[in-house]
Structure 1
Amino acid sequence: MKKTYALIALSLLSLTVAIIASAAAVQVLDDKVTVIIGFKDSPDAELVESLDGVIKYQYHAIPAIAAEIPRYSINGLKNQPDVEYIEIDTEVCILKTNSLFCWEKDDDPETSWGVDCVDAEKVHPDFTGEGVRVAVIDTGIDYTHPDLAPNYYGGYDFVNGDMDPMDDNGHGTHVAGIIAAVDNDDIIVVGVAPDAEIYALKVLNSDCDGQISDINAAIDWAIMHDMDVISMSLGSSTDFISMRRMCQKAYDEGIVLVSASGNDYGGNVSYPAAYDSVIAVSAIEKNGSVADFSNIGPEVELVAPGVNILSTYKEDGYASIAGTSMATPHVSGVVALLLSADDTLSPEEVREILASTATDFGATGRDELYGFGLVNASACLENYM
């Protein structure tokens, strides 16, 4: 009898193992992953679809496709002679900020010190960024905010796949206000370039999470829609071939790219800021010292105000936030001022002017803390006034 029970138990165990193994096999077969497929020449949509792939984006600026494919198809793709690389689509987020303080609408806060620090108000009688198109790749923008609505010109929501890039977090609205909050009668904040045209490219959701494939798509959109400046207050610790090449393509097409160095307390400069085609920006405090949260390294090109920066916020609000995310749009705004003075400048020429006119802090010349120094609007526009 014991032998019979043992045989029954063994049979049941074998059946259970078989069922689990079968379920695992089905899961593997059904397991799908979003990848970015880089091609040596032209992107091959038919190839991707033949491997049961569902295309998310077919990029225009680089020969690449973002698609959801069965995981078992990856090896098949790797063996295709026209495929150069395959990258797993990876999560990216805003660079963590140190503090957030929201102002009530009936409060009367002081105007942000950042605009004064970069000497932007001195040039506003002559240059305000008018006619310069700035793409803000972020959480979207509250385009109904009274300080932003006059300068909002459209955009796209890559998170939800629609034409409504409304900000459901607040970060992108804050960034946009630093760049181009209007100079109106009810002044709480004024942007560095208060007449620049702002375009919202939403790649991050309400939790500030997004995907590399969406950032690539946003840069692709900016290229196709003839943006002049791309401002990116986000980052990743990973270098992606597709993002590097997309940034380089935008640069080659005449777009100035600006991105945050990161807030890892002296860590390596994040991507895309670390790319050669991008201006990497770190943050300084009001006393001129580099903020302790700023990432540092040889890629740092400029610094700008990034501590207790007051700007627009979602739901018609205002907030004071710290981070290299806040430093970045100060530089983007100064670029817009410069291009409004001379729209023939190439990205290389813009960078040369910004570097040669920056207020040198720290060691003489370029260093890993301050780069070339504090961006200076009046100095870089002196020859145009």
Structure 2
Amino acid sequence: MKLSAKKASLALFNALLLSSITACGGGGDDHGTDPIPPEPVDPVDPVDDDEQDESTIKLSVIEYGDMFTGKPFIIKFEQKPSVSSLKGETLTAITAKYGVVTDVNPLTDESAASGTVFYYLPLSALKALGDVYSFTEEFTVTDADGNISVYKLAQGTNTTHGDPLLTDQWHIRNVSQNPFKVSKKPVKGIDLNVIPAWHEKDSNNELLSGKNVRVGVWDAPIDLNHEELKDKIYTPSRITSDVNKGLTLNDVINDKTLLHGTAVAGIIGASAGNAKGGRGIAPDVLLTSYAMNGTDTSFLARKDDLDIVNASIGSSNSFSFDPAFEMTLQAMFENGIPFIKAAGNQFDSITYDHDDLYSTKACLRYKVACQYEQSSSIERGRYQINVAALNSLGEHSSYSSAGSHIWVSGTGGEFGYLGSGSDSAAVVTSIYSQDPSKYSDWDAGTPWRKDSTNYESRKFYTQRMNGTSAATPSVTGVSALVLQAKPDITVPQLRYILASTARNDRDWSSLAYSSISAYDSDLGETVTPDRGWNSNASGLRFSNRYGFGVVDAEKAVKAALNCNSDELCAKRASLPQDYKNTNSNPCTTSDDGKIVTCIFSDFVNTEDSSDNQSEIEVEEVSVNLNSFGYTSDSPETIVEDDMAATYCNYAASNKGYIAGIAYANNLLQMEIRSPNGTIALVKPFYANWDFSGKVLNSVYGLGYKSPFLVNTSDFFTEKFSASNNLFILTFKSKCSIDVDELNKHIYLLVGGYPDRAAD
């Protein structure tokens, strides 16, 4: 880079603010123009000025940049005071071997101050360096007399402006690293593609880092003293004792699960460039801690207090029915606060007693979902972003719950080091601000913790965080980058961006899997408890394991920056309208309730009865099942050794016999066919579910006043005519469904965008 003439500054430097760049005297070495990946450097700060004896020019770093984001360094140059033959100019050129030297700020286009230049590493140069996490930049300086000197600057994770554990965070950058000593090391390239997203700029020409995006972590309390988190905790305008309450050592000694919230927070927003720990996906977010089991949930819907809520929590109990909380979820949606929610860790878990009484173990045999997750009120928000988990091999995490309500997948990993010969990596994040010797350490005994060389840098961190609890904050972190890129974004726009940019089985072969069929002797037929990947009528790929696929941070932020020019994204600046079928008694059966077909037609806008002719673009589809249940003679007592047919009777009883309900629902399937022919597997065979609307309403005396809405993602962005098209719901069941009761309250609700020009 040619520089304008700049008079040498002979001012003394403040050693605390400026670090010298190592100079190696030279005589015109040819460094070439094609970058060659360097060897990783020893993690040391630049050496002192007195080692630059052969150079006539002094270079010093005024402000550190970042090799992983392209943030520019500001470098000061001056003629050494010991040089007597000044000629009015200090130099004619500075060039860098790998990066770019310029007198114009690459972010803001501002000119450099006198005696300074900018230096940055473009994304293309970072990629050319390969898999390194540190390297030595070489600057060639030519002074006014034609003398050439070479200076070196160490960059990377183990410098005073780096993050030493970033090298272990495969979810951010997967280069097949394996400091965990797991038998199945991470597969290169399986990550969230975060680094290119960090190179994008917002409307203020600032790099994307989640800056000033406020994230509420609804979880166990965050450790407010953690070195990665303490500087980013903010206090909402209205608080209770459960907001930012913090953790004590005694809390953690008594219950190590309380470390969960701190681990979640670190994945979202651990600080960058502080020479400590790793790095969050959105390292400049603001965080507040809403303690689960105590927080007034209405706090979660206050837009003046937060921008995103992360909920790595859940409940599989259908009798945790809370219509008031469901209203909070709707208020969050209307107020523009995304509710990003863990899908659950029960893909291979059986949760109900008496599982020996019915064929629930078939889910393990056929490797399909063991649990139906749309149970409690917290699981069934119509517009929440439900997150499944991907492991470091690029596959569905073994525990990650599946279902038609999944939106996207994040990085949850597996269980970390188990010494089993079949283990793979979990996720590295913050854990606690006390030495692990003082409490029950998650990582005790693992090679990662036992490595004495790295103990000090790792002691406040874990490599054992996993589950959809880890996948969810990975999506929240990416969403925070998206919100910085587009601060006025709506929840529908965020959902659209995440879904439309996610990577599916056509992008990564490791995600591919086919439909799964099984012959069931109880039913006497072959069933399909997982349909694999399918394309809906608008061309989006979807599966019950991955949703629309694995989040791609780079594509997501670029889509956010271009949202207003994307028709489907731009229309989602407004909220969808609700359309409800108006045909009565939609459900019929010809075989005593074993197969029930419900046809929904004549959709009308719930707030404008004259709006019944529009073409609707689907945002969300839900069916109200609050009167779903079974019919038969209902015994007053349970006889433990009765056969399966008797358990159908128990399921029909209003006494709340969970064993009978679980048996019946285990052998229940629900599919919805859209007007365009797309099939959504809403409730598969073998997925355990304790729900009976008849029992729920009877036990709690609810009287069917509140809906029990079960939703599906499959039909997103499909279009249908409100007046001419039909949605068809089909139940298949071992036990007889009470069709008469079902017809009293069932309906289909479509949230969508009307196109009245098509009327």
Q: What's the TM-score once normalised by structure 1's chain length? A: 0.65
Q: Report the equivalent of 1:180.
A: 269
Matches of 1:115 and 1:108, distance apart in 2:
11
Change in 2 beyond 3 A, CA 1:189/1:219:
farther
Of the candidates 418, 422, 428, which is equivalent to residue 310 of structure 1?
A: 428
Q: Deviations over 1:101-139 (max 9, x none)?
A: xxxxxx978422112311112222320000111100001
Residue of structure 2 in register with 1:200 after alignment: 289
Q: How does 1:150-161 map to 2 (within 5 A)?
A: 150-154=231-235, 161=241
Q: Given the alignment of the two structures, is residue 351 of structure 1 paired with residue 430 of structure 2, yes or no?
A: no
> In the alignment, what sits opposite 1:268?
372
For 2:288 and 2:401, the matched residues in 1 are separated by 27
1:162, distance to aligned residue in structure 2 (A): 5.3
CA apart distance, 1:380: 1.0
Whether the 8 Å CA contact 2:303–2:336 is kept in 1: the answer is: no
Partner of 1:118: 192
Q: Aligned equivalents of 2:330 and 2:548: distance in 1? A: 22
SS of equivalent to 1:311: strand
Aligned to 2:475: 331
Matches within 5 A, 1:338-377: 338-361=482-505, 362=512, 363-364=533-534, 365-377=541-553
CA distance in 2, matches of 1:251, 1:137: 16
8 Å contact kept, 1:180–1:193:
yes
Q: Supply the distance in 2 between the matched residues of 1:152 and 1:259 (Cα, whole angstroms).
A: 21
Post-superposition offset of 1:153:
1.0
**Structure with the larger RCO, 1 or 2 (CA within 8 Å, 6+ apart):** 1
SS in 2 for 1:190: coil
- Which residue of structure 2 lines up, in the alignment, with residue 127 of structure 1? 208
* Count of equivalent residues: 268
1:212-243 per-position Cα deviation (integer Å, ceiling 9, x unaligned): xx45x134355164311000000112342122
Distance 2:291 2:336 in 1: 22
Identity %: 28
- CA, structure 1 residues 185+224, in 2 after alignment: closer, same or farther (shift >3 Å)? closer
The answer to which of 165-174 and 133-142 deviates more is 165-174
* Change beyond 3 A, Cα 1:170–1:155: farther
Conservation of the 8 A alpha-carbon contact between 2:197 and 2:554: yes
Q: Which position in structure 2 is the counterpart of 1:140?
A: 221
Root mean square deviation, CA, Å: 2.4
Counterpart residue type for residue 313 of structure 1: I
Residue 396 (structure 2) aligns with: 290
Deviation for aligned residue 1:269: 2.4
Aligned counterparts of 1:276 and 1:235: Cα–Cα separation in 2: 15
Is the 2:410–2:551 contact (alpha carbons within 8 Å) kept by the matching residues of 1? yes
Gaps of 5+ in 1: 1-106, 204-209
Question: Judging changes above 3 Å, is the alpha-carbon distance between structure 1 residues 232 and 138 closer, same or farther for their aligned structure 2 residues?
Answer: same
- Give the whole-Å Cα distance in 1 for the aligned partners of 2:385 and 2:396: 17
Partners in 2 of 1:192 and 1:279 — Cα distance?
Answer: 18
- Is the alpha carbon distance of 1:118 and 1:339 closer, same or farther for their aligned partners in structure 2, counting shifts above 3 Å? same
Superposition map of 1:192-271 within 5 A: 192-203=281-292, 210=293, 214=294, 217-223=296-302, 225-237=304-316, 238=318, 239-265=321-347, 266=369, 267-269=371-373, 271=376
Query: For residues 334-353 of structure 1, what are the alpha-carbon distances to aligned partners after superposition, in whole Å with 9 as ceiling and x for unaligned?
Result: 11000001111110011101
Q: Which runs of 4+ in 1 moved over 3 A?
A: 107-110, 155-158, 160-164
Distance 1:342 1:109, change over 3 A: closer
Matches within 5 A, 1:90-105: none
Deviations 1:273-332 (Å, cap 9, x if unpaired)? 432121000111111111111111000001111020110012252112111100000111
Report 1:14-93 matches (<5 A).
none
* Residue-by-residue CA offset, 1:251-273 (whole Å, 9 max, x unaligned): 11110110001111232225524
Which residue type is aligned with residue 300 of structure 1? I
From the superposition, tell whether residues 343 and 157 of structure 1 become closer, same or farther in structure 2 (CA, over 3 Å): closer
Distance change >3 Å, CA 379–CA 133, structure 1 → 2: same
- Structure 1 letter corresponding to 2:169: S
**C-alpha distance 220-268 of structure 1, shift in aligned 2 (>3 A):** same
> Equivalents in 2 of 1:233, 1:133: separation in Å?
17
Q: Which runs of 5+ in 2 are unaligned?
A: 1-163, 174-190, 200-206, 252-257, 348-368, 414-425, 435-459, 506-511, 513-532, 535-540, 563-759
Structure 1 residues 325 and 155: alpha-carbon distance in aligned structure 2, compared to 1, 3 A threshold: farther
Contact 1:304–1:375 under 8 Å retained in 2? yes
Cα distance in 1 between the residues matched to 2:482 and 2:283? 13
Residues 1:218 and 1:293: Cα distance change in structure 2 (over 3 Å) = same
- Equivalent position amino acid for 2:403 in 1: G
The one-letter code sitting in structure 2 at the alignment partner of 1:330 is S
- Map of 1:66 onto structure 2: none
- Structure with a larger share of its residues in helix: 1
Correspondent of 2:246 among 166, 172, 175: 166
Pair 1:311–1:253, CA change in 2 (3 A)? same
Deviates more, 1:164-173 or 1:268-277: 268-277
Distance 1:181 1:136 in 2: 13
